Amino acid sequence: MSFLEIRGVGMRFGGLQALDDVSFRVERGSVVGLIGPNGSGKTTLMNVISGVYKPTAGSVTFADKTIANVPTHQVCRLGIARTFQIVKPFASLTVRENVAVGAMYGRDGAKRTTAQAFDHASELLEIVSLARVADRPASDLTIPDRKRLEVAKALALDPDVLLLDEVMAGLNASEVDEALALLRSLSERGVTLIVVEHLMKAIMAVSTTIVVLAEGKKIAEGAPLEVTQSRAVIEAYLGARYVKRQEAARAVADARAAEGAR
Amino acid sequence: MAVATATAPPARRVGLGGITGSPLALKVVVGLLVLALAVPLLHNGYYENLFRGILMFSAMALGWNLIGGYTGYVSFGNVVFFGLGAYTSATLASHGIENVWVAVPLAIVVAAMFAVALGVPILRLKGHYFGIATLGIALAVQEIVANVDALGGGTGVTLHQAAWYSQYYYAMWLVCAGSLLVTWFIARSKFGYALVAIRENEDAAAVLGVNATYFKVAAWAISGMMAAAAGAVFAFSTGFIDPPSAFSVDNNVFPIVMVLLGGIGTVAGPVVGAILLTAINETLWSHFPQIHTLFFGAVIVIVVLFLPRGLLYLQNARGGLRGMIDSLSAYRV
Ligand SMILES: Nc1ncnc2c1ncn2[C@@H]1O[C@H](COP(=O)(O)OP(=O)(O)O)[C@@H](O)[C@H]1O
Ligand SMILES: [Mg+2]
């Protein structure tokens, strides 16, 4: 049995099929890049894996448990943590208090006193470069800092699997490099990552496997280079007409080259 | 996964100013509470009634603050607990047990059972729906009580008061001090942080491991216990209760306004609000007996419009003038 398995997952919102028969396995310690155009169902899949939504078809299993049967607040105790793409800070609490809540109620939370939870939160704020605003209310944070806070809150749960939904949006180039270094170090510590990101450079740099969604369906899965060169993926991203035009252009160029060689 | 860092953790701030509110205001309130112990020594019936009223409303406001302030679930029916507490005393009295010290613990148990039984279904409702459900429950319970002859029906119940009347003052003092102490403990505990996390974002709280249903029901139950204890003492101190007095609109609305006036989601705020609103009420009574209700309504509107998070918010470390402007723009429609 595999570590984390997504099996035939479907999610329907009224008339909209946001996910349709999506299946893949996530191996322990891997870094799965989950990509796809806007509205392709990436966030919905994160919500299903983290138990926030119950799928209307199929199942997600982790540690011999079907996530849909586990209350949302217990999913993190199994070892799955996630960030929210639309950030959800506890606005009136300080940044440190935000993270401390995770340290109090997450996987090892029962073992921590309030003071220990605050200490753990402080350590995590160092890691995500938020120590400088630790005592400010979360409502004061900029968008990139709010994304960092999401990551720190998820880390406070001591996860085995971390789902990151567009946490690099809005970061500048050097901040992206910092974030990538953080992901690598988490991965080296054995945390399994599922990363949604639009920045291809970032996805290519960290992923061991890439899964591509388009209109709720899985259209490709494999090693990064292989997947990004697949015709289906390029079509999904850039449109079928773009692919045809590219192919026509290449045919013309090839013909010219052939002519030139003659 | 253990994340280790070489850097020493910066100075931590456990609950300070954060969810406990202003430490200074808390000290002042505790000081006033200690002074209030001396009121019966004045042997002045007016003052004793006035201050017992403040203690009663403080306990009810502290109760409302727990569910409405800390947890963010605005209840419009907390008077139901007050009424249940009053009727616990009345029922005991009509069975010959005319003892406030027995009635208060029993009222607390009754409130807890009622809150758990109803809380599980109605705390699944979010936002305004919860508020409307609590109002419905309060009206329904009042109606039921008015129609049960064993509870005195619509005509009410008379309770015989003990010769030592000031015991009701001290009982109310204990109810208020106990409510303040419980709130203080909650605001410094993991429990308090769970409540605030639920208020700020229930989905995010759940993902962080907070069992929202459990904490909401617990908060509502503790909130109800405070109101019920106050109600149990009230029944004896007033000597007669009927459904309109036990479930009165005033006892439902005043605690909410007091919390808003004093400082929502702080430990001391509800007591500050109870003192101020009672003072305003008394002043208006003595100067404008005819149109006092009109003035009082105006005070409520002003509080809600201009001090949506209360006076204490103004001098809170995170508040100040900017805080007030922020809260105005955040809360005003
Ligand atoms: N709670 C919801 N209710 C209704 N529709 C939703 C909900 N969540 C997502 N959707 C829809 O599902 C589709 C996939 O959305 P999403 O998973 O957010 O895509 P992505 O993250 O890949 O951009 C979109 O059409 C979106 O509008
Ligand atoms: Mg998304």
pLDDT digits (tens, 9 = 90+) for A77-109: 999 999 999 999 999 899 999 999 999 999 988
pLDDT over 80 (residue B210): yes
A134 Cβ contact partners less than 8 Å away, ≥ 6 residues apart: A94, A95, A96, A122, A125, B10
Q: What percent of chain B has pLDDT over 90?
A: 62
Query: Is B212 inside a domain boundary?
Result: yes
Question: Could A105 and B194 be called an inter-chain contact, meaning their C-beta atoms sit closer than 8 Å?
Answer: yes
> What residues of chain A lie within 8 A of the CB of B19, using their CB?
93, 97
Output A251-258 pairs: Cβ under 8 A, ≥24 positions apart.
none
* Contact call for A89 and B205, based on CB within 8 A: no
pLDDT of residue B139: 92
Q: Establish if B14 belongs to a structural domain.
A: no
A73 touches chain B (CB under 8 A): yes
Is B291 within the bounds of a domain?
yes
Q: What is the pLDDT of residue B153?
A: 84
| Contact with chain A for residue B186, Cβ under 8 A | no
Residue B315 belongs to domain spanning? 23-32+43-330
Q: For residues A219 and A170, which has the higher predicted lDDT (pLDDT)?
A: A219
Partners of A75 on chain B (C-beta within 8 Å) are: 207
| A4-79+160-229 CATH pick, 3.90.76.10, 3.30.2350.10, 3.40.50.300, 3.40.470.10 | 3.40.50.300
Q: What atom in ligand 1 is closest to the CA of residue A11?
A: 12
A31: three-class secondary structure by DSSP: strand
Q: Is the dihedral of CA B213, B215, B221, B223 positive or negative?
A: negative
CB contact under 8 A, A81 and B207: yes
Asked if the structure places residue B3 within a domain, the reply is no
Q: Is residue B255 part of a domain?
A: yes
Q: Per the structure, how many domains does chain B have?
A: 1
- pLDDT given at position A169: 87
Cβ-Cβ contacts under 8 Å for B29 (sequence gap 6 or more): B180, B268, B271, B272
Q: What kind and span of H or E run contains B130? A: helix B128-146
Task: Write the CA distances from B38 to A86, B48, B179, integer angstroms.
Answer: 55, 10, 20
Atom of ligand 1 nearest to the CA of A45: 17
For residue B15, the model assigns a pLDDT of 37
Asked if residue B11 belongs to a domain, the reply is no
Burial (0-12, 13-18, 19+ Cβ within 10 Å), B120: middle
Closest residue, chain A, to B14 (C-alpha) = A115
Q: pTM value?
A: 0.88
Q: How many CA atoms lie within 13 A of B8 on its CB side?
A: 3
Ligand 1 geometric centre to CA of B26 (Å): 47
Complex ipTM: 0.87
CATH code, B54: 1.10.3470
pLDDT for position B5: 40
Tell me if A101 and B208 make a contact (CB, 8 A cut-off). yes
Question: CATH 3.40.50.300 occupies which residues in chain A?
Answer: 4-79+160-229
Chain A touched by B150 (CB under 8 Å): no
The answer to the question of residue B229 being in a domain is: yes
Written in H, E and C, the secondary structure of B50-81 is HHHHHHHHHHHHHHHHHHHHHCCCCCCCCHHH
Q: Judge whether B18 lies within some domain.
A: no
**Among the listed residues B231, B204, B173, the one whose alpha carbon sits nearest the alpha carbon of residue B35:** B173
List pLDDT tens digits, range B127-151: 788 888 999 999 999 999 999 888 8
Tell me which residue of B5, B75, B125 sits closest to B226, measured CA to CA: B75
- Regarding predicted confidence, which is higher, A232 or A195? A195
pLDDT interval class at B117 (50, 70, 90): very high
Report CA A86 to chain centroid distance, whole Å.
13
